[in-house]
Amino acid sequence: MVNIKNYLRLNKLPHIWCPGCGNGTVVRALITAIDKLGFKKDEIVVFTGIGCSARTNAILDFNTIQTTHGRTLAFATGFKLMRPEMKVIVITGDGDGAAIGGNHLIHAARRNVDITTILINNSIYGMTGGQYSPLSPQGAYATTAPYGNIEPPFDICELVKAAGATFVGRGTVYHIHLTIDLITKALSHKGFSFVEVISQCPVGYGRRNNMRSPYEMLLWQKEHAIMVKQADKYSKEDLKDKFLIGELWVNHERTEFMDSYNALVKRLSEGMKGGEV
């Protein structure tokens, strides 16, 4: 098993997350995948935005850049263009990534830029005080939904797939081995890869939604997740309050953004040699 301390900033531990918060386990999954693939620490750059998910790069011992709320993918895309040899990873949350950063997310997917995005979905804005997000389940309680959330959530994986992402998977903190596997595949994929990890926020979400302990929240993940390969064994009715996990979408047909960009540069420089653009 990987010694994850080799990849952590030990002087930043214990981290600031609440007891039982899933974020720490997602960090472990990411480190395990990176270790498995044999990347050097300096080959990796991790971008985050704002929110509890953004604190991942306080403890990750890679090149790390914290950006503005929701705009992470714009910064990361610019960086990738400048330093295409680097492995660019974005860690975001359901508020940061699907609400404020929703537009950047769909356009990064549309461009199929070679970035791995991990969206930690804890169903709530944790850091800012428990407001509902576009991924909070309908009926869930939040500080801004004291009588229950009336809005239906996005299926963010379907959204990103429809926008053009070429690898899409969903794991949970409970299904840690699956999540490690999905992140490993996402990091090995060329193009825009996206992994949603359903995580637990015992303090901002669990307390308000009848799940008192982190353990209960992990059991909720276990009981509500269906492996995508098994999905056809269930009726529509059975699947109503469930979510699919596993590798949801892979497409090797679409051209990656940097390849299109480099082809353009080549075409233009050849044109210039010939005396015309």
Partner 1 sequence: MPKKFKVNLNPKWCKSCGICVEFCPKRVFEFSKDGKVRVVREGDCIGCKNCELRCPDYAVEVWEEEA
How far from 134 is each of 95, 125, 162, 240, CA to CA, in Å? 7, 10, 17, 18
* Minimal distance, residue 62 CB to partner 1, in Å: 16
45, 176, 197, 245: residue in contact with partner 1 (rule CB under 8 A): 176
Decide: residue 104, CB within 10 A, 0-12 exposed, 13-18 middle, 19+ buried: buried
Whole-number minimum distance, CB 97 to partner 1, in Å?
20
Please count the residues of this chain forming the interface with partner 1, following the rule CB under 8 A: 24
**Encoded tokens for 197:** 């990890």
CB of 32 or CB of 166, closer to partner 1: 32
38 binds partner 1 (CB under 8 A): no
Q: Which does 201 bind (CB under 5 to 8 A by kind): ligand SF4, partner 1, none?
A: ligand SF4
- Selected binder of partner 1 within 158, 190, 215, 271 (CB under 8 A): 215
Query: How far out from the chain centre does Cα 149 lie?
Result: 23
Q: Which is nearer to partner 1, 130 or 214 (CB)?
A: 214
Binding site for ligand SF4 (CB under 6 A): 17-18, 21, 23, 52, 122, 126-127, 201-204
Which of 199, 9, 251 lies closest to 91 in space, CA to CA?
A: 199
Q: Is 18 in the site for partner 1 (CB under 8 A)?
A: yes
28 binds partner 1 (CB under 8 A): yes
Let me know how many helices (H) and strands (E) the chain has, helices first: 9, 8
CA distance 93 to 117: 10
Q: Which residues bind partner 1 (CB under 8 A)?
A: 1, 4-5, 8, 13-15, 17-25, 28, 173, 176, 202, 213-215, 218
